[in-house]
Amino acid sequence: MGNKKWYAVYTRPRYEKKVEKLLNEKNIICYLPMIKTLRQWSDRRKWVEIPLFNSYVFVSVDIGSDEKFQVMNLPGVVRFISFEGAPVVIPEQQIDNIRWILSTDVVSESLPEEISAGSMVEITKGPLRGLKAEMVQYNNRKRIIIRVDQLNQSLEIQIPESHVRLVETK
């Protein structure tokens, strides 16, 4: 029964941390990617941690065992992300890439002028090597958009120009 793979579960809105806590209590391996963001209230500003992907938690389970049912029966879990009725496996490499992105402070350098918003680039160095992504313009800084197709979600990262090459322009 040692056939554990990564899957994404969809949670009720704002239940990601509760679901992560319940999964940990049941000793089910899970991953909730979090980012820090500055929030503004009327009387103060504060750094808070929020989920990178709203309403998603990753779980490593053997889908053929009772772990699937343990996950589904947790309060706040809505469903496994599935395609044609079968839960979609998230490649471990994508989980590792998300962890890497969140663990490093990828510093931005200027990108060549021929790489403009909408251009497709290939990352040529680092753990994301070989990944094709879209370049976007955001707040006058050039960033890379990385799509996690299984979740229909995207990430934005800053990456040095020496780590990308132009694949095609828009």
Rounded CA separation 81/72 (Å): 12
pLDDT of 84 higher than 70: yes
- Which range (36-45, 77-86, 137-146) has the least confidence? 137-146
Most confident of 32-41, 49-58, 99-108: 49-58
Question: pLDDT, tens digit, for every residue of 89-123?
Answer: 999 988 988 888 787 655 333 344 455 667 777 88
Supply the pLDDT for residue 156. Answer: 72
Rounded CA separation 14/45 (Å): 20
Over residues 55-69, mean pLDDT: 93
Supply the pLDDT for residue 59. Answer: 98
Over residues 40-59, mean pLDDT: 88
DSSP summary character for residue 163 = G
- Place 41 in a pLDDT band, splitting at 50, 70 and 90: confident
Rounded CA separation 101/60 (Å): 20
pLDDT of 26 higher than 80: yes
Report whether CATH 3.30.70.940 matches the domain 5-90: yes
- Place 45 in a pLDDT band, splitting at 50, 70 and 90: confident
- The domains of the chain are located at 5-90, 120-168
Q: With CA atoms as reference, report the closest residue to 89 among 27, 7, 1, 3.
A: 7
Look at 7 and 52; give whichever has higher pLDDT.
7
pTM of the model: 0.68
For 34-41, the CB contacts below 8 A with 24+ separation are 34/102, 35/102
